[in-house]
Structure 1
Amino acid sequence: MGKYTVEEAILKLKDDDVEIRKDAVKSLDGVTDEAAIDPLIEATTDDNAQVRFKAAQTLGNMGDLAVDKLIAKFNNASGQDKRFLTFALKETYSDKTIDALVSAVDDEDFGVRKTAIRGLGSLQARDKMDDIAKGLEDDDWGVRLSAIYALGDLATPESVALIKKARRAEKDEDFKKSCKKALKKADKLMKLGAKPTVSKAKPMKDIKALEKEDPEEAAREYEIHIKEGAKSQEPYKRAAIIYRKTNRYDDEVRVLNTAIENLSRLNPGKEEWFQKRLDKLTK
């Protein structure tokens, strides 16, 4: 549960106190109420970077519910105001965003170009390979790197050839290492012969680092791993521990039951810790 109701959070997104705005945008994480879409879109231009990022992430998590309004706003935005809208579009993982992302490949803002290109790679927009490849000639190192990773996501002989060509032409050793990583990923995906499953989950090490600063936010991030059916015990354990510490009994029980169900199927034997913990809680 967030600190505020949806209605309260929408009002507090305009508060003069940045800490209240931070709490408000966190409270809207995971909502499916259309009333929150326009206020969250406006929050992507907040003075505070944390508010902007969280608003964009929340909109992205809404997926198709928010995508049409996001595209409309995106098409009329410019400059830095467009950066977090681009990130939100990318995070929806909706094919509807492809044309908007293509239009942003030539944007004047390097942050917009970089995110748009990564988004096209994540969406497996193989028919937009030429647009992605434009990033290889960009003046910004980060945009060029995004193009390499996006081409790795496409995982086709043509995209691999472009990565190899860029690697040969580049002198920077770090860039060459990134090319090697992208090639390894593309090779693995081609051998699987299947479209990769795109995960919205942050790396576990990043979430662990977040726990001390913001345990509620960390729990929400662990929940993404859980929703995606994690095979590892870790996200279930960490979420359960946070819920125990914050006296969220119902959430702890829910996570324990989910862990038992998922792990008994995906990683048999690893559910025992959760069963023992659940038995103690429900005695």
Structure 2
Amino acid sequence: MSNLILEDTINKLSDDDVKVRKEAVESLVGTTDESAIEPLIKATTDDNAQVRFKAAEILGSMGEVAVDKLIEEFVNAEGKDKRFLAFALKETEDKKVIPYFVDATEDEDFGVRKVAVRALGELQAEGELDSIAKCLEDEDWGVKLAAIQALGDLATDESIKLIKDARKAEDDKDFKKSCNKAIKKAEKRKKAKASGKAIVKVIPMSTIKEMEKANLQKAIKEYERYVESKQPKDAAYKRLCVLYRKAGDYDNEVRVIETAIEVFDGTKKADYFEKRLAKLK
């Protein structure tokens, strides 16, 4: 996207016509241009929910580029305006946001508290177990359930015990079911950790393939989860190789190929990646 087109698109985020704003925010999907950060942050307070969510999603996918500005805005925001900033911060997956989410578990807005505690689980903030546990006593049901999910994400002996204690103390059947589900997930993750496996949440390949059309940057991020956790799904590695080749990103293509050769060593699948690597050298 050229500078003139980007500037025009950013200006349209403030258009009176919601249809124009929707089209503008959609066309910014995948951008990493810093000039779009502040307008997108402003768009997280748009009157239209679709615009707010998409703006937050884009900011989150920008990761390190946007995280510092997001933190600054998040700290100074209040009420509902803070919710989508919280979501954007969570989506950056940057561990520097953990202290801010710890503070946000006591925010006045239940929506912010819910995202904050969920983020602490996803970010594996094991050192913040007390902050997560406090949310089990929250007045909002959604926050309590998010705390259970977060404890399940941590998958430690302490977090599992907290889930079991919460299950025992609650009579609601749906809550108990959520606890059972979280315990099952936690025990599976705990076992994987003990065996040295990386714990990474992946989504179906078909979903990521569709995602390429709407948000290529996020799709690459999701494919990379397969590589990070060394999943035995060769399609993810092949697709990443294609995308990095199109982008002229030689280093990342080689990295993915070498990881694939390691994962599929001794199988016919490794042949494809060995041949691809040979052509690059």
Which TM-score band (shorter chain)?
0.7 to 0.9
Does the alignment pair 1:64 with 2:68?
A: no
Closer, same or farther in 2 for the Cα pair 1:181/1:205, shift >3 Å? farther
SS of the residue 1:124 aligns to: coil
Q: Distance in 2 between matches of 1:238 and 1:154?
A: 30
- Counting aligned pairs with the same residue, the percent is 54
SS of the residue 2:46 aligns to: coil
5+ long unaligned stretches in structure 2: 248-254, 273-281
State the Cα distance separating 1:180 from its structure 2 match. 1.5
- After superposition, what is the alpha-carbon deviation per residue over 1:112-160, rounded to whole angstroms, capped at 9, x for unaligned? 1100001111111122111111111112221111101111112221111
Corresponding residue of 2:278: none
Q: Tell me the TM-score normalised to structure 2 length.
A: 0.76
Does the alignment pair 1:8 with 2:8?
A: yes
SS of the residue 1:113 aligns to: helix
State the Cα distance separating 1:224 from its structure 2 match. 3.6
Q: Tell me the TM-score normalised to structure 1 length.
A: 0.76
**Conserved? CA contact 1:152–1:160, under 8 Å:** yes
State the Cα distance separating 1:13 from its structure 2 match. 1.2
Q: Distance in 2 between matches of 1:197 and 1:173?
A: 29
Q: Distance in 1 between matches of 2:168 and 2:174?
A: 13
**Conserved? CA contact 1:155–1:189, under 8 Å:** yes
Q: Distance in 2 between matches of 1:34 and 1:117?
A: 28
State the Cα distance separating 1:232 from its structure 2 match. 3.8
Does the alignment pair 1:139 with 2:136?
A: no
State the Cα distance separating 1:14 from its structure 2 match. 1.2
Q: Distance in 2 between matches of 1:48 and 1:67?
A: 24
Moved more, 31-40 or 224-233: 224-233
Q: Distance in 1 between matches of 2:271 and 2:141?
A: 48
Does the alignment pair 1:38 with 2:38?
A: yes
Moved more, 6-15 or 264-273: 264-273
- After superposition, what is the alpha-carbon deviation per residue over 1:5-63, rounded to whole angstroms, capped at 9, x for unaligned? 43332122112222222222222222221111111111111111111111111111122
Aligned residue identity for 1:100: Y
With a CA cutoff of 8 Å and minimum separation of 6, indicate the structure with the bigger relative contact order.
Answer: 2
**Conserved? CA contact 1:121–1:153, under 8 Å:** yes
Write the mapping of 1:112-191 to structure 2, written as runs, cut at 5 A. 112-191=112-191
Q: Distance in 1 between matches of 2:117 and 2:200?
A: 15
Q: Distance in 1 between matches of 2:102 and 2:71?
A: 12
**Conserved? CA contact 2:29–2:215, under 8 Å:** no
Does the alignment pair 1:91 with 2:88?
A: no
Does the alignment pair 1:217 with 2:214?
A: yes
Q: Distance in 2 between matches of 1:12 and 1:272?
A: 49
State the Cα distance separating 1:101 from its structure 2 match. 0.7
Cα root mean square deviation, aligned: 3.8
> How many residues are treated as equivalent by the alignment?
265
SS of the residue 2:59 aligns to: helix
5+ long unaligned stretches in structure 1: 244-249, 252-257, 274-283
Closer, same or farther in 2 for the Cα pair 1:220/1:30, shift >3 Å? closer
State the Cα distance separating 1:235 from its structure 2 match. 6.8
Aligned residue identity for 1:172: D
Q: Distance in 2 between matches of 1:109 and 1:206?
A: 36
Corresponding residue of 1:226: 223
